[in-house]
Amino acid sequence: MWALSVAAPGPGTAATVEEFTARLRAVREWAGNPAYSRIACRIDHLRRARAVPPGERRPAKVTVYDCFRPDRRRLDIELVTDILRALGVPEADVSTWRRAYGRCTGRTGAAG
């Protein structure tokens, strides 16, 4: 939906949640640094297309912002994958991010 011409940064070798969020910030920069409220609006559109119930569609701006904070210890991976989609990361690359998050948290079975 918001595809860009240069490939999005991936999670690389992130081994901690802090490194993971640093890579997530790189994706936001790659996407042109959209406002957190704009990302939330895009997530709403994505979730609406998936028929997510109205009360669960649009995350609060601060909830989206919190995913980018460097001091995070854990993340809602479902929200993170929607953030990635909202930033224009191709669906094929989203699974790579899921696996990387599982590696960062030691929960590789739940991340796939």
Per residue in 33-91, pLDDT (tens digit) is 999 999 999 999 999 999 999 999 999 999 999 999 999 889 999 999 999 999 999 99
With cut-offs at 50, 70 and 90, classify the pLDDT of residue 6.
confident
pLDDT at 112: 40
**How far is CA 66 from each of CA 3, 12, 110, rounded to the nearest angstrom?**
24, 21, 22
Per residue in 89-112, pLDDT (tens digit) is 999 999 999 999 999 998 765 444
Using the Cα atoms of residue 48, residue 50, residue 31 and residue 69 in order, give the sign of their dihedral: positive
pLDDT at 58: 95
Q: What residue spans define the domains of the chain?
A: 17-111
Task: Record the pTM.
Answer: 0.88
